[in-house]
Amino acid sequence: MAAKTSAPVRSRMYVRFSFADRVQHLLLLLSFTTLAVTGLVQEFAENPVSLFIIRLWGNVDNIRLTHHAAATVLMLIAIYHILGFGYKVFVLRQRMTMLPGFQDVKDALRAFAYNIGLSKTRPQMGRYTFEEKAEYWALVWGIIIMGLTGFMMWNPVETVKFLPGEFIPAAKAAHGAEAVLAVLAIIVWHMYGVHLKRFNKAMWTGRLTEEEMLHEHPLELADIKAGMDKPALEANALRRRQRIYYPVAAVVGAAMLFAVYGFVNGEQTAITTIPPQAATVEVFVPETPTPLPPTPTPLPSPTAAPTSEASNGTPSSPTWDSTIGPLFAAKCNACHIATISGGLNLSTYADVMKGATDGPVIIPGDSAHSKLVIVQSAGNHPGQLSADELALVKQWIDAGAPEK
Ligand code: HEC
């Protein structure tokens, strides 16, 4: 650039970013990069590059741990940033130069016109250009989205107390998509804006030369020269405002730190958070009629059973409803439901009598030739009846396999 070689002799430097700002940026850079790497390898876990990185980290649990640690750092940076913003605005009464306004829309249109040759001059911009504002607010927006969806995935049990369960997979989808967007924004937009267009080192050195100020932030330079960039601070008023701000910031900061603590420590994973069930529960419990005491007439009264047995003189024989149905439900239906195992469904009376695709398994009155008995008599079925149970089934078949 010709302007650069004929630079003015005056080489006054202007402070653009304070030391604290630069440390913030560095921490943001580190946490963002860590989050991006450890997040993307989870989002695209089957990709060979991801597998390589996961192996480098040891295992996916280490990746998750690192991701969570970086997320915590990012939350702390955000808190520091919010409190710092409050100090600048409420105590130092600085202007909110990052706020977008209509002027930014005009600047953007002007820059576009200049780039395609429709305008001879570039827009004159202040402390933050419209590009810088757009990038800053995209970052703020991104952190809010990632924080909310990250919370839902990190604390799913807590989340579903307030929201339907579908929000968890939805949060996962949004988190992954926003991550890709953020990484692309950094690679394309930020790379170009601060590294390619002109290698801008202000975020590291903290300074810009007068020439750079004139080129990129002419309105701010004019304000600085006119002494209008920062409001004049009256020492007493400043101290008074500090006395109000410090306790407020302490309370707000403590509340935010407490929120982060809850975020991070609320739940580990659903597996460790939900208390384990003491008793073993049946995973598959088919709908079966409630077993009734063996009575010839299906009376729900428990006193009916002894009476009928007494009148018969012998124990009543098993029926599907009373004995066999519940027995099969407990011992066979883990496998023999509608769709598998040779089409044999043992969950209802009608299905049992229908048999398998290759024929009936029960011949009423003839247990010896019933396939079910033959299969079970072999003694090595994946779901095996005990000898007593098998005897009961035989007794039932020989009695004509009654349903009731
Ligand atoms: C762990 C799974 C499992 C359990 C539990 C199980 N079965 Fe089976 N059963 C199978 C499979 C698999 C087949 C198909 C085997 C084959 O075709 O060789 C089968 C086949 C059968 C058949 C032959 C069906 C045909 O195609 O003709 C009968 C009869 C049968 N089972 C009865 C029972 C009974 C009665 C019980 C309960 C006491 C039971 N099974 C429990 C897995 C199971």
The predicted pLDDT at position 311 comes to 44
- List the structure tokens of 103: 């002027």
pLDDT in tens, 302-339: 544 444 444 444 567 789 998 899 999 888 888 887 65
CB-based pocket (< 6 A), ligand 1: 328, 331-332, 334-336, 341-342, 344, 356, 358, 361, 371-372, 375-376, 381-383, 385
- Any idea which residue has 């630069």 for tokens? 22
Q: Greater confidence, 261 or 279?
A: 261
Q: Which pLDDT score is estimated for 307?
A: 43
One-letter amino acid at 32 equals F
- Cα of 315 vs centre of ligand 1, distance in Å, is 30
CA of 294 to the centre of ligand 1 (A): 27
Q: Which of 204-208, 251-255, 373-377 has the least mean pLDDT?
A: 204-208
Predicted confidence (pLDDT) at residue 261 exceeds the cutoff of 70: yes
Which is higher by pLDDT, 54 or 295? 54
The Cα–Cα gap between 73 and 236 comes to 36
Of ligand 1's listed atoms, the one at least distance from the Cα of 355 is: 27
How large is the average pLDDT for residues 103-125? 90
Question: Token pair for residue 335?
Answer: 């496998």
- Could you tell me the end-to-end alpha-carbon distance of the chain, in angstroms, rounded to an integer? 99
Give burial (CB, 10 Å; 0-12/13-18/19+) of 221. Answer: buried
Atom of ligand 1 nearest to the CA of 374: 29
Is residue 381 within 8 A of residue 304, CB to CB? The reply is no
Return the pLDDT at 338: 66
Atom of ligand 1 nearest to the CA of 393: 35
pLDDT digit string (tens) for 64-89? 999 999 999 999 999 999 999 999 99
Q: What does the buried/exposed string (b/e) look like for 130-167 if buried means 16 or more CB atoms within 10 Å of the residue's CB?
A: bbbbbbeebbeebbebbbebbbbebbbebbeeeeeeeb
pLDDT score recorded for residue 296: 60
d(CA 389, CA 370): 15
For the stretch 190-240, pLDDT in tens is 988 888 888 888 888 888 888 888 888 888 888 888 887 777 778 888 999
CA–chain centroid gap for 394, Å, is: 54
Q: Give the number of other Cβ atoms within 10 Å of residue 381's Cβ.
A: 14
CA angle 47, 49, 52 (to 5 degrees): 110
Q: How far apart (Å, rounded) are the C-alpha atoms in residues 133 and 249?
A: 25
Determine contact, residues 385/375, Cβ cutoff 8 Å. no
Cα-to-centroid distance, 361 and ligand 1 (Å): 10
Given this model, what pLDDT does residue 293 score? Answer: 66
> Cα of 317 to ligand 1 centre, how many Å?
25
> What is the distance between the alpha carbons of residues 131 and 149, in angstroms, rounded to a whole number?
27
Q: Tell me if 349 sits within 8 A of 396, measured CB to CB.
A: no
